[in-house]
Amino acid sequence: MRGHLVFGIALVPAVALRVLVMLGYDTAQLYWYDSFTYLDTAVHLRPQGAFHPAGYSWFLWLLRPFHSVELVAGVQHAMGLGVGVMIYALLRRRSLPGWGATLAAAPVLFDPSFLRLEHAILSDLQVIFLVVAALLVVMWREEVSTRAAALSGLLVAMAGLTRTAAAPLLGIVVLHLLIRRAGWRRVAAAAVAGVLPLLGYAGWYAQHHGRFALSGSDGVALWARTMTFADCSVIRPPADEAVLCPNGTVADAASEYVWAPGASLNLLPGGRFAHNDLARSFALRAIAAQPLDYLRAVAGDTALAFTWEPVRHPRRVSPTTTFPLGSWPLPEEQPLVGKVRREYDPGIRGMSSVEPYASALAAYRYPWFLHGTVFGVVLLAGGLGSVGRRRPALLPWAFAVFLLVAPVAALDFDHRYVLPAIPVACLAAALAAVRPPVRGPEVSGGR
């Protein structure tokens, strides 16, 4: 135990913080309308038609017999601690000293942004847990076993079924195994174990919505991404897509075009998601016609993750790394709120802070620049340390970069969407500091 003393000491305040959060708020944080669609899908177990695949709802279904969103938050707090433990365990396995492994796990243990995710009925924490678990499994041994490769592929697939942006991570795992020359059995095991759940879900989605896909919003999201730069005099879309050209409506962030009432997509009959395929076709045509403008928009928004002071993006959102005080009522006029209350948890209500615990939480400070500029330094360190085919930092660093850039490329920058990249970026930076073992000269001859 002496070798794990530093981490054991760090776990005590990490656990205490989570207990304080459970005491400081009288229920879990629920968001309109994401939380309620997750809970409704958990009751009826069908693929939701627009943004969210059902992976997180399956987790909520497992806890449904308890009829308590507070219990869901408690389990998620335990999962958050589990993420820190997995990071620490993998780094110790890779010969990092206890203090170094503890430092790499510190953000997920102590950053209020992660604790707020754990306390919310949102899919983010589950994605982080599954991604880190996949890395732990595939990197635990120098030589990857067929079973570990398959389990890693399955965990990544489950992350993709929790949030579709994580599904392409399966390709990175397969590429990693190919680069490591792990053998065709291991590569095939990871690919099959990952692809089969994704195909199965897409088939289930097609039965309900008539489209072989993981969600029904990818085209709408990508169309919104192009609204910040699209020029139809350059794109020259066909007549059926020309109706989706910018129409003079101006929003301060790409994601705002999804909901802007005056945006061209939202003026079409049937609702925005009824035109998902048309929106995707327009967006791909716009990117092909203006690739540099697209890359410039993605790079500019991604850079917002590295600012010393937080940037309001969109302006209606106030990023913070503190614990808020107050009350957050539910939109009781929405029929789905009452429906979920009847079917999942009769005690569902708006969240309120509880004294004196909430004031203690509000006094807790976590430096913002650890999200921004220091995160950029951590990401750079992992990238520099991943040079070389066999460097262990390469896989988690590739995960971190993808998790950071993919949401921006597919829709927009959001401070919340940066969080899944932080634990794996810390893991990569820590692994970059580990010296690879020095192999002595092989001795031939003699039996």
What does the pLDDT read at residue 1?
59
Are the beta carbons of 417 and 407 closer than 8 angstroms? yes
Are the beta carbons of 96 and 434 closer than 8 angstroms? yes
Identity of the amino acid at 55: G
Q: Which residues of 218-252 are buried (b: 16+ CB within 10 A; e: fewer)?
A: bbbbbbbbbbbbbebeebebeeebeebbbeeeebe
Cα torsion through 86, 89, 92, 98, rounded to 10:
90
From the centroid of its chain, how far is CA 80?
13
Does residue 440 register a pLDDT over 50? Answer: no
Per-residue pLDDT of 339-384, as tens digits, reads: 999 999 999 999 999 999 999 999 999 988 888 999 999 999 999 9
Of 158, 192, 151, 190, give the one whose Cα is nearest residue 174: 190
| pLDDT tier at 444, thresholds 50, 70, 90 | very low
Of 394, 397, 327, 335, give the one whose Cα is nearest residue 355: 327
Per-residue pLDDT of 320-335, as tens digits, reads: 889 999 999 999 999 9
Q: List Cβ neighbours of 70 (8 Å cut-off, separation of 6 or more).
A: 22, 27, 28, 347
Task: Kindly state the helix (H) or strand (E) to which residue 169 belongs, with its residue range.
Answer: helix 169-179
| pLDDT tier at 393, thresholds 50, 70, 90 | very high
Residue 199, number of CB atoms within 10 A of its CB: 12
CA distances from 217 to 208, 271, 279, 402, 433 (A): 15, 12, 9, 20, 40
74-98: average pLDDT: 96
Residue count of the chain, please give it: 447
CA dist 441 and 7 (Å) reads 37
Of 149, 154, 92, give the one whose Cα is nearest residue 427: 92
| pLDDT tier at 237, thresholds 50, 70, 90 | very high
Residue 394, number of CB atoms within 10 A of its CB: 23
Identity of the amino acid at 102: T
What does the pLDDT read at residue 442?
42
Does residue 270 register a pLDDT over 80? Answer: yes
Of 397, 426, 423, 400, give the one whose Cα is nearest residue 83: 423
Extract long-range pairs of 42-49: CB within 8 Å, 24+ residues apart.
42/344, 43/340, 43/343, 43/344, 46/208, 47/201, 47/204, 47/205, 47/208, 47/209, 48/215, 49/208, 49/209, 49/216, 49/273
Burial of 435 (C-beta count, 10 Å sphere; 0-12/13-18/19+): exposed
- Which range, of 132-141, 149-158, 310-319, 410-419, averages the lowest pLDDT? 310-319
What percent of the chain lies above the pLDDT cut of 90? 85
* 3-class SS of residue 141: coil
From the centroid of its chain, how far is CA 415?
11
Per-residue pLDDT of 380-391, as tens digits, reads: 999 998 886 558
Per-residue pLDDT of 121-161, as tens digits, reads: 999 999 999 999 999 999 999 899 999 999 999 999 999 99
177-187: average pLDDT: 93
Are the beta carbons of 114 and 100 closer than 8 angstroms? no
CA distances from 303 to 151, 299, 308, 383, 411 (A): 34, 6, 11, 16, 15
Q: CA angle, corner 415, sides to 411 and 416, nearest 5?
A: 85
Cα torsion through 397, 308, 20, 10, rounded to 10:
50
Does residue 445 register a pLDDT over 80? Answer: no
